[in-house]
């Protein structure tokens, strides 16, 4: 079996997609899960882009120790040095630098000649290699580059010290046979046997996974991909699809990855929880219908032998099969055992908090399903210092879409109440909280989803909120969506309090003027 390295770019290219921006803490949670997934490389971010991205890369490099940590840099010396500053604490750091090689990019975007671009590549790779032993060079828009010029650039990058050469289909233009031939054409470039050829394919024509597989069939030994296929425009090659294609057809392909496939579903679910963006139901591998059968013929076949309609088992990718029936009389040991079956190794402190949330939920609904338990972990255990807590909630009235709510918010042991009306319950909730704490929050994005199916289902609410230019994400879950909305908004407000207190170097959380 030929090993294929999985380079995950969820936290870098994936985050660049509209709506997928993540906080430093969110990135760190996902990086730790990618470590459990056992990808080979985690591309943690683009350090020069912002102080937040720099901090995310730095923390991931220092705290996620079992995988290589990469970060992106343009070919400018400032980018490369800033990238290394963020990465230098990693056990296996990699500087990833890039420059476009297609004539359309050189002429219209970079305003560079081929010769000048070649010199720039050499200088950038040499600088990166002087700082770091592992350097990846990407020839942006390689799929539309002149093949002979691409070979020249690849040879120069190798001579300058690159250890990985990436051949991106940046705009998803290539057909699989075409892309495979491009990878194969590099086979006789001087020094190519000493480096890793990588693929990075986008899904503009829906061919990212097919092109990635064509790449490895023609000599590539690394695939760059993202969880749930997120990324610029139509996204990147989907990590879970690439990995399972290589596993299900391993006998024919004679290739394998080191990925722990039983963590695929959990990783997908964590990303959806962090970003508030669900995958489509028919998404391969991790969509909720990926292992669902409705047609009678299919059901009959699966009942007789699962392989009639399933080319992989749900368990092989971590998709649960059983519904959990637990109630308020269930003990902590039973809950811990079920979490272990679901793939969660909770600390004693997290288990204690999860059990408290579980018993509160069990008082309100029966039965409790596996998705309820995931919601407790993905939402309820997210640690945000609680400056403001919802203690009272009452929907006073609703007529002609105008709602009135009364809320009680606790801070520092004191209870503050307020009422407001609005165009619907969410608008009224936001107005009431803003009134209580004299804040000026504005909801930019709101989404709610049902975690389970019954009439007493748990609902998760996601909000993106602007507090005078500071944009944060709030998340919460409850059997009552209105209560979840109030908690989600307060979750966002708690994050603002924490961020501002850090900036001011205060020990206590920030004071909003309405609560002294």
| Helices and strands, number each (H, E), in the chain | 17, 16
Is the pLDDT assigned to residue 68 strictly greater than 80? yes
The secondary structure of 335-396 as a DSSP string is: HHHHHHHTT----HHHHHHHHHHHHHHHHH-SSBPHHHHHHIIIIIT-----SSEEEEEEEE
Return the minimum-mean-pLDDT range out of 89-98, 103-112, 283-292, 429-438: 283-292
Tell me, what's the pLDDT at 496? 81
pTM of the model: 0.75
Tell me, what's the pLDDT at 323? 41
- Of the candidates 500, 249, 239, 497, the one whose C-alpha atom is nearest the C-alpha of residue 384 is 497
Q: To the nearest whole number, what is the mean pLDDT of the chain? A: 88
What residues have CB less than 8 Å from 116, skipping those under 6 apart? none
Tell me, what's the pLDDT at 172? 98
In the chain, the percentage of residues whose pLDDT exceeds 70 is 88
**Which one is predicted more confidently, 376 or 252?**
252
User: Burial of 245 by CB count in 10 Å (0-12 exposed, 13-18 middle, 19+ buried)?
Assistant: buried
- Of the candidates 229, 156, 162, 234, the one whose C-alpha atom is nearest the C-alpha of residue 190 is 156
- Which tokens in the block code for residue 449? 């989803």
Q: Where are the alpha helices (DSSP H) in 226-295?
A: 239-248, 250-253, 264-275
- Of the candidates 54, 32, 34, the one whose C-alpha atom is nearest the C-alpha of residue 45 is 54
Residues 230, 21 contacting (CB under 8 angstroms) = no
Alpha-carbon distance of 425 to 484, in angstroms, equals: 11
**pLDDT, mean of residues 380-391:** 73
pLDDT in tens, 136-192: 999 999 999 999 999 999 999 999 999 999 999 999 999 999 999 999 999 999 999
Tell me, what's the pLDDT at 328? 65
Long-range contacts, stretch 353-361, CB < 8 angstroms, 24+ apart: 353/380, 353/381, 354/380, 354/381, 358/326, 359/328, 361/458, 361/479
The secondary structure of 64-79 as a DSSP string is: --SSEEEEEE-SSHHH
Tell me, what's the pLDDT at 360? 82
The three-state (H, E, C) secondary structure of 138-191, written as one string = EEECHHHCCHHHHHHHHHHHHHHCCCEEEEEECCCCCCHHHHHHHHHCCCCCCC
Tell me, what's the pLDDT at 349? 85
Alpha-carbon distance of 58 to 51, in angstroms, equals: 10
Tell me, what's the pLDDT at 454? 63
- In DSSP terms, which residues pair with 69 in a beta bridge? 42, 93
- CATH fold of 389-503: Double Stranded RNA Binding Domain (3.30.160)
pLDDT band at 506 (very low <50, low <70, confident <90, very high): very low
pLDDT in tens, 254-270: 999 999 999 999 999 99
Residues 376, 473 contacting (CB under 8 angstroms) = no
Quote the CATH superfamily of domain 2-275: Aldolase class I (3.20.20.70)
Tell me, what's the pLDDT at 298? 61
Alpha-carbon distance of 68 to 225, in angstroms, equals: 15
Does residue 288 sit in helix, strand or coil? coil
Residues 207, 236 contacting (CB under 8 angstroms) = no
- Which tokens in the block code for residue 26? 């969110």
pLDDT in tens, 392-412: 999 876 666 688 999 999 988
pLDDT in tens, 338-374: 787 676 778 888 888 888 888 888 887 666 777 778 7
Does residue 275 sit in helix, strand or coil? helix
- Of the candidates 416, 437, 420, the one whose C-alpha atom is nearest the C-alpha of residue 494 is 437
Radius of gyration of the chain (CA): 25
Tell me, what's the pLDDT at 384? 53
**pLDDT, mean of residues 288-295:** 70
Kindly list the distances between the CA atom of residue 113 and the CA atoms of 104, 116, 387, in Å, as whole numbers in the listed order: 11, 5, 56
- Of the candidates 34, 53, 22, the one whose C-alpha atom is nearest the C-alpha of residue 475 is 22
Q: Where are the alpha helices (DSSP H) in 276-331?
A: 296-304
**Which one is predicted more confidently, 95 or 450?**
95
Tell me, what's the pLDDT at 508? 39
């Amino acid at each position: 079996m030929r090993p294929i390295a999985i380079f995950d770019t969820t936290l870098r290219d994936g985050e660049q997609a509209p709506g997928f921006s993540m906080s430093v803490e969110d990135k760190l949670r996902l990086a730790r899960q990618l470590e459990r997934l056992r990808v080979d490389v985690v591309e943690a971010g683009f350090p020069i882009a912002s102080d937040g991205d720099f901090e995310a890369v730095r923390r991931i490099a220092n705290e996620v120790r079992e995988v290589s940590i990469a970060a992106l840099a343009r070919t400018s010396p400032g980018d490369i040095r800033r990238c290394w500053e963020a990465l230098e604490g990693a056990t296996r750091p990699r500087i990833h630098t890039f420059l476009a090689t297609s004539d359309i990019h050189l002429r219209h975007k970079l305003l560079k000649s081929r010769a000048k671009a070649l010199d720039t590549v050499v200088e950038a790779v040499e600088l990166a290699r002087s700082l770091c032993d592992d350097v990846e060079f990407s020839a942006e828009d390689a799929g539309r580059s002149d093949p002979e010029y691409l070979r020249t650039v690849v040879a120069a990058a190798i001579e300058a010290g690159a250890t990985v050469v990436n051949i991106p289909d940046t705009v998803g233009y290539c057909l699989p046979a075409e892309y495979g031939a491009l990878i194969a054409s590099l086979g006789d470039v001087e020094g190519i046997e000493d480096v890793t050829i990588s693929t990075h394919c986008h899904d503009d024509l829906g061919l990212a996974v097919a092109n990635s597989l064509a790449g490895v069939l023609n000599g590539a030994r690394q695939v760059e991909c993202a969880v749930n296929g997120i990324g610029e425009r139509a996204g990147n090659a989907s990590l879970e699809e690439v990995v399972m294609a290589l596993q299900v057809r391993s006998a024919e392909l004679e290739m394998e990855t080191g990925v722990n496939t039983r963590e695929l579903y959990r990783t997908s679910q964590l990303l959806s929880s962090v970003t508030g963006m669900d995958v489509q139901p028919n998404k391969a591998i991790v969509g909720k219908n990926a292992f669902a059968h409705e047609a009678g013929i299919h059901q009959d076949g699966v009942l007789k032998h699962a392989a009639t309609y399933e080319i992989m088992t749900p368990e092989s990718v971590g998709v649960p099969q059983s519904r959990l029936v637990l109630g308020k009389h269930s003990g902590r040991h039973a809950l811990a055992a079920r979490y272990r079956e679901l793939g969660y190794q909770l600390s004693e402190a997290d288990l204690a908090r999860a059990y408290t949330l579980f018993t509160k939920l069990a008082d309100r609904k029966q039965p409790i399903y596996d998705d309820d338990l995931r919601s407790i972990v993905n939402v309820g255990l997210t640690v945000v210092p609680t400056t403001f807590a919802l203690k009272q909630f009452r929907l006073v009235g609703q007529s002609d879409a105008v709602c009135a709510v009364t809320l009680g918010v606790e801070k520092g042991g004191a209870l503050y109440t307020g009422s407001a009306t609005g165009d619907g319950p969410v608008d009224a909730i936001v107005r009431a909280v803003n009134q209580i704490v004299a804040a000026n929050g504005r909801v930019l994005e709101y989404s709610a989803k049902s975690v389970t199916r019954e009439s007493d289902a748990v609902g998760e609410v996601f909000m993106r909120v602007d507090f005078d230019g500071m944009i944060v994400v709030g998340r919460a879950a409850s059997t009552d969506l209105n209560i979840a909305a109030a908690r989600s908004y307060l979750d966002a407000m708690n994050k603002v309090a924490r961020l501002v207190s850090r900036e001011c170097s205060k020990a206590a959380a920030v004071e909003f003027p309405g609560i002294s």
